[in-house]
Amino acid sequence: MNDPSTPVRPTAWVGQSIERREDVALLTGTGRYADDLGTRPGTLHAAFLRSPHAHARIKSIDVSRALAHEGVRCVLAGADVRSWARPFVVGVKQPMEHWCIAVDKARYVGEPVAVLVAQDRYIAEDAIDLIHVEYEPIDAIVDSETAIAPDAPVLHEAVGSNVVSNRQFVYGEPDAALDAAPHRVKIKIRYPRNSCTPIETYVVVAEHGSEGDYDVLSNFMGPFSLQAVMALALQVPAAKLRLRTPRDGGGSFGVKQGVFPYIVALCLAARKAQAPVKWVEDRLEHLVASTSSTGRISELEAAVDSNGRISALAYDQLDDCGAYLRAPEPATLYRMHGCLTGAYDIPNLKVRNRVVLTNKTPAGLVRGFGGPQVYFALERLVQRIAVELQLDPLEVYKRNFIGAGDFPFRTAAGALIDSGDYHATLQLAGQRGDLAELVEKRDAARAEGRLYGIGYAAIVEPSISNMGYITTVMTKEARAKAGPKNGAITSATVSIDLLGAVTVSVASVPHGQGHITALSQVAADVFGLNPIDIIVDVELDTRKDAWSVAEGNYSSRFAGAVAGTVHLAACRLRDKLARIAAAQLRCDHADIVFADHKVFARTAPAEALSFPRLASGPHWAPGVLPDGVSPGLQETAIWTPEQLVPPDENDRINTSGTYGFAFDICALEIERDSGKVRIDRYVTAHDAGTLLNPALADGQIRGGFAQALGAALMEEFAYRPDGSFASGTFADYLVPTAVEIPEPVIAHMQTPSPFTPLGAKGIGEGNSMSTPVCIANAIADALGPAVDPQAIELPMTPSRIIELIAPAEQRPQHIAPPPQGDGKHFATSGSVNIAAPVEEIFRVLHDPEQLASLIPGCRKLHVASDNRYIADIALSVGLVNVSFHADISVVDEEPMRRMRLFGKGSGALGAAEGDGRITLTELPDGTRLDYEYKVSLSGKIVAVGARMIESATGVVLKQLFSRLGRVAGHKASGAARWQGLLRLIGLGKPGSQERR
């Protein structure tokens, strides 16, 4: 019992769904989240100025008006960052510079351009609008396939291409297998950009110390390897960047990784301000610019025999990492590298991985990280194999699964899959979910012409990432030069205080998973105590805690690595106590039992010591410890799975320490009228090894399922073709609510991992991997084989579904076709009849005073050069008002007939450009004016108002030209209409400043 290498099972507390230790504080509003901790007196507040352009050179920044604003301390801009910091290191050798804020060029909408520090956040936001940045916009690249074209605009000129990594891998003999295969089944998929959008946004409080050190409180999910990345950027030794995180985190799901560039920016801002600086990200900032899953286009082909047995896979993966390769990218590609063959025994594999940069927010950790992308291709392919070979999909699964007797199983690309029984899990899912009934329902529904489908997904869920997997992106020569990287080092400290109570201390940075509860269960078992007796300290302080490069909240490493290491540390401390107790009880230490708060010899339970009494003793009397027992009651265990070695010469890599499994079944119906998807039943069967607390595990499944359902049906970061971002609010980035999320049927298998101390594996990411593709497969099944498989694209919105199934439509002849935009601009057009001759209209448009009176909201207009004007405009549409500077020019194309009225402007809400052609046609009693406009808008106004922006622009243009009609018509018709016009449009005299 005292041998820590022999896990103690079954035990009293581990495996029970006890109530959470965390909950009382959280339910009574007394949680301690990052924004709740208070700050030093004199702490200032930051706001970020962000680029409204997807791609633009920064010509100049003028901060003088902002600095003059009362309450403003300083502005940090590119020049400061250049002198105090360095660009972040990146995972591939390319001459790319990613600074904590943009220094010469902005490469995505929302990229920080300056940090303003002021007395409070309200003032900071007042002043941020006073900074004037001159941008020179460049064509933006949004689509990753366009970005790889040779003539595409390049984001990072020094690289010379938008493809920043291109690697090919061959395992076994895939080409021979593909050539020999009786069937080749192929699929092309696109995985969208989305995120888990925790409800708590990023929070950072940074301070610059007197020794050039930085002290940061934040809700970052690490320290992780990124602590070093930040220290290098700040040009300080790692120890001079102290990171602290609070007890409670408001959800991470990987997403809180994306705070790290902000930590560096705010450290520099604090240095400039010479005061602590606090920043709480707002939701708009979070949606537009925090992070995103990696978008992917995959082509995947399988060599298949007539029974559905797969002998080879060929992947071509193109990852859209956004504007910068931000660490740890391109890890989305490589985290899954070892298990690209999924749950299947497939000996031959080839892979091409390309990473492309586009004008979007940099990609980063998002729950499932790499898994949703891989399995969306692989599991859609399995569905296609069943369809094309006319097989029951379950047969395809059974014929390809790794056999229950084959574990640990080495995959083609090098993963060592530790344990499982995939056939039995499939069976369990079918039974628990009553698959037979679902099939009957489908048959009945189809007989009535309804769209009912069943989908499946089988996924291997990796956890405890190998820190060396990312080096697979390098060639073996480059790896040899760089030195080996591997392992998943984990630390835990267990100590006993002066009165004999046990404290567990970890660097796991929980964000709601219940680490305190689970660790108190683990430690209680070891010491024979109750979980409530165990103090668990999850606050992180990189100055004081035992931690190393792999530490943090990611890759589902808690159950396997952190809880396992706590178990090891606790066992070591207990072993020490057993030796002390053995001396007192005069027995062998191997016979000492810890149970019910007591310590006794197995042979003499009546002669028991109380745990606190025994455990506190060594503090008070270290001089009388038995021989060979060192003083002190604190043990730190440091563990790394020995199976995690660096990639070998053939690029084989065991990407994770342990691998769970999930098999899902989804039955759903699609409403023909609306295209809405109704989930009839969702079944998810998991094998995550030993479950520490089944209720916590189920919580992870339900939460992962809900996020994945969002990804499948509604969530997407939408970019318009010009790179503007259209999902800036929670009204447009659609997180599912309680009405949209059904209750899944959950089943568990427990095949303990032989590689983790407690036999546990991760469980939090499985549904992020399985559910999107399982739902997609069910939709494909419901829509039937006639629908193009490639058109099953996430999120599968009702609109996308109707586009696939609705009959073709034809516009009636009497309805005029709507104006067509060119993708990057939208078009709007109209016409007005004006009671004035063509000449008069021409004259008005060339008269600055008159022009000023035409432009809605024009407050000031001055002539810059011939027919070119600079104007201050304050537009109102409903309750919205928008102020901006505009540069307007009038170009005659054909005198008295055609002209262009061109304008571009920018302001706090974004940038706009309108290029319009006006055509004048003489009528018997005046002139008809036709206008056709191409308009592009970017920045905040699109992010928050995409739904109405085009109509609103139409309203403004209509106002402009009807005013033209009135002004020119008034000139022509003389005094009779003078009074009426005045009343109608509120003009004092022509050319006066008006607002309406």
Partner 1 sequence: MKPAAFDYIRADSAEEVVQLLAEYGDDARILAGGQSLIAALNMRLAQPRVLIDISCVADLSRIRVGNKNLTVGAAVTQAVAEKVVQDSNNIPLLAQAFPHLGHFQTRNRGTVCGSIAHADPSAELPLCLVTLGGAVNLRSWRRRRRVAASEFFRGVLTTARETNELVESVEFPMPKKQARYGFVEVSMRHGDFALVALAGAVSDQGVRLGVGGVADRPWVETLPTTSGDDLDAALEDLAWKLDARSDQHASARYRRHLVRNLGRKLITELSS
Partner 2 sequence: MKRLRHTRHTVAIRLNGIDRTGECEPRTLLSDFLRYELGATGVHVGCEHGVCGACTVTVDGLAQRSCLTLAVVADGREVRTAEGLAPEPGVLSELQAAFRRHHALQCGFCTPGILMSCADFLARVARPSEPDVRQMLSGHLCRCTGYSNIVSAILEVASGNEDSPDA
Label residue 883 exposed, middle or buried (CB < 10 Å: 0-12, 13-18, 19+).
Answer: middle
Q: State which of residues 528, 699, 857, 969 lies at the interface with partner 2 (CB under 8 A).
A: 699
Q: Where do the H-state alpha helices sit in 672-724?
A: 694-713
**Binding residue for partner 1, selected from 158, 447, 786, 815, defined by CB under 8 A:** 815
> Binding partner of residue 71 among partner 2, partner 1, none, CB under 5 to 8 Å per kind?
none
Shortest approach of partner 1 to residue 941 CB, angstroms?
A: 8
Among partner 1, partner 2, none, the one that 930 touches (CB under a kind-dependent 5 to 8 A) is none
Residue 462: its H or E element: strand 451-465
Distance CA 286, CA 109 (A): 12
Residue 48 CA to chain centroid, in angstroms? 20
Under a CB-based contact definition with an 8 Å cutoff, are residues 331 and 91 in contact?
Answer: yes
Residue 652 φ then ψ, to 5°? -80, 135
Check binding of 879 to partner 2 (CB under 8 A): no
By CB under 8 A, the residues from 224 to 283 that bind partner 2 are 248-251, 253, 280, 282-283
Q: Would you state the structure tokens that stand for residue 393, as one six-digit string?
A: 């999909």
- Torsion from C-alpha of 65, 70, 76, 80, nearest 10 degrees: 80
955 contact choice in partner 1, partner 2, none (CB below 5 to 8 Å, kind-dependent): partner 1
Longest alpha-carbon distance in the chain:
119
Q: Judged by CB under 8 A, which of 80, 111, 200, 545 binds partner 2?
A: 200
- Give min distance, CB of 548 to partner 1, in A: 38
Work out which of 86, 676, 897, 898 binds partner 1, going by CB under 8 A. 676
Q: Is 248 in the site for partner 1 (CB under 8 A)?
A: no
Closest CA to 687 of 524, 776, 559: 559
In the complex, the smallest distance separating the C-beta of residue 34 from partner 2, rounded to whole angstroms, is 11
- From the list 370, 327, 333, 100, the residue with the least C-alpha distance to 225 is 327
Which of 299-307, 661-669, 670-678, 695-703 is the region at the interface with partner 2 (rule: CB under 8 A)? Answer: 695-703
- Encoded one letter per residue, x for contact with partner 1 by CB under 8 A and - for no contact, window 84-123 reads -------------------------------------xx-
Q: 110 contacts which partner out of partner 2, partner 1, none, CB within 5 to 8 A by kind?
A: none
Distance CA 728, CA 946 (A): 9
Query: Rounded to the nearest whole angstrom, what is the least distance from the CB of residue 30 to partner 2 in the complex?
Result: 7
Taking CB under 8 A as the rule, does residue 831 contact partner 1?
no
742 binds partner 1 (CB under 8 A): no
Among 122, 803, 831, 881, binds partner 2 (CB under 8 A): 122
CA distances from 705 to 125, 708, 714, 740 (A): 37, 5, 14, 12
Q: Is 22 in the site for partner 1 (CB under 8 A)?
A: no
253 binds, options partner 1, partner 2, none, Cβ within 5 to 8 A by partner type? partner 2
CA–CA separation, 992 and 478 (whole Å): 69
What are the counts of helices (DSSP H) followed by strands (DSSP E) for the chain? 25, 36
Select the binding partner of residue 880 from partner 1, partner 2, none (C-beta < 5 to 8 A, by kind): partner 1
Q: Report if residue 129 touches partner 2, rule: CB under 8 A.
A: no
Residue 770 binds partner 2 (CB under 8 A): no
The size of the interface with partner 2 (CB under 8 A), counted in residues, is 54
Residue 791 interface partner, choices partner 1, partner 2, none, CB cut-off 5-8 Å depending on type: none
Task: Provide the β-strand partners of residue 827.
Answer: 934
Contacted by 487, from partner 2, partner 1, none: CB < 5 to 8 Å by type:
none
Judged by CB under 8 A, the stretch of 346-354, 495-503, 736-744, 769-777 that binds partner 1 is 736-744
Give the binding range for partner 2 (CB under 8 A) out of 499-507, 607-615, 723-731, 914-922.
723-731
Under rule CB under 8 A, residue 963 binds partner 1: no
Question: Do 311 and 176 contact (CB within 8 A), yes or no?
Answer: no
Rounded Cα distance, 129 and 170, in Å: 54
Query: Given candidates 67, 84, 619, 730, which one binds partner 2 under the rule CB under 8 A?
Result: 730
Q: Tell me if 282 contacts partner 1 by CB under 8 A.
A: yes
Pairing label, strands 277-280, 203-208:
antiparallel
Lay out the site mask for partner 1 across 34-73 (x = CB under 8 A, - = otherwise). ----------------------------------------
Burial category of 823 from C-beta neighbours within 10 Å (exposed 0-12, middle 13-18, buried 19 and up): exposed
When CB distances are held under 5 to 8 angstroms depending on the partner's kind, the choice from partner 1, partner 2, none that residue 248 binds is: partner 2
Pick from 182, 184, 226: nearest CA to 554: 226
Segment contacting partner 1 by CB under 8 A, of 19-27, 503-511, 801-809, 885-893: 801-809
**Chain-centre distance for alpha carbon 782:** 30
Spell out, one character per residue from 490 to 529, where the chain touches partner 2: x when CB under 8 A holds, - when not. Answer: ---------------------xxxx---------------
Q: In the stretch 845-884, what mask flags binding to partner 1 with x, by CB under 8 A? A: -------------------------------xxxxxxxx-
d(CA 505, CA 540): 9
Contact flag: residue 806 with partner 1 (CB under 8 A): yes
Please identify, using beta-carbon distances, which residue of 122 and 978 lies nearer to partner 1.
122
Distance CA(517)–CA(670), nearest Å, equals: 41
Q: Is 797 in the site for partner 1 (CB under 8 A)?
A: yes
Closest CA to 247 of 24, 413, 423, 426: 24
| Binding piece for partner 1, criterion CB under 8 A, among 211-219, 414-422, 449-457, 712-720 | 712-720
| Binding of residue 129 to partner 1 (CB under 8 A) | yes
Binding partner at 31 among partner 1, partner 2, none, C-beta below 5 to 8 Å by kind = partner 2
Q: How far is CA 62 from the centre of its chain?
A: 33
Phi, psi at 481, each rounded to 5°: -70, -40
From residue 673, give the alpha-carbon distance in Å to each of 450, 776, 782, 805: 11, 19, 15, 10
- Give residue 455's Cα distance to chain centre: 26
CA angle 746, 750, 756 (to 5 degrees): 125
Q: What is the 3-state secondary structure (H, E, C) of 620-666?
A: HCHHHCCCCCCCCCEEEEEECCCCCCCCCCCCCCCCEEEEEEEEEEE
CB of 250 to partner 2, least distance (A): 3
Q: Where are the beta strands (DSSP E) in 72-212?
A: 72-77, 105-106, 112-118, 132-137, 163-171, 183-191, 203-208
Strands 745-749 vs 677-687: parallel, antiparallel or unpaired: parallel
Q: What kind and span of H or E run contains 318?
A: strand 310-320
Q: Which does 8 bind (CB under 5 to 8 A by kind): partner 1, partner 2, none?
A: none
Using the rule CB under 8 A, is 153 a contact of partner 1? no
Is 664 one of the binding residues for partner 2 (CB under 8 A)?
Answer: no
The CA-to-CA distance between both ends of the chain, in Å, stands at 83
User: What are the strands, taking DSSP E only, across 853-945?
Assistant: 858-865, 868-877, 880-894, 898-907, 910-923, 926-938
Residue 634's binding partner among partner 2, partner 1, none (Cβ under 5 to 8 angstroms by kind) is none
The partner residues of 209 in beta bridges, in order of sequence, read none
At its nearest, how many Å lie between partner 2 and the CB of residue 542?
Answer: 22
305, 588, 698, 847: which one contacts partner 2 (CB under 8 A)?
A: 698
Interface with partner 1 (CB under 8 A) = 121-122, 125-126, 129, 282-284, 673-676, 714, 716, 718, 726-727, 729, 731-732, 734, 736-737, 739-740, 797-799, 802-803, 806, 809, 811-812, 815, 818, 876-883, 908-909, 940-941, 944-948, 950-952, 954-955, 958, 995-996
Which residues are near partner 2 by CB under 8 A?
17, 19-20, 22-31, 33, 35-36, 122, 196-201, 248-251, 253, 280, 282-283, 511-514, 695-696, 698-699, 702-703, 705-707, 729-731, 735, 737-739, 741, 743-744
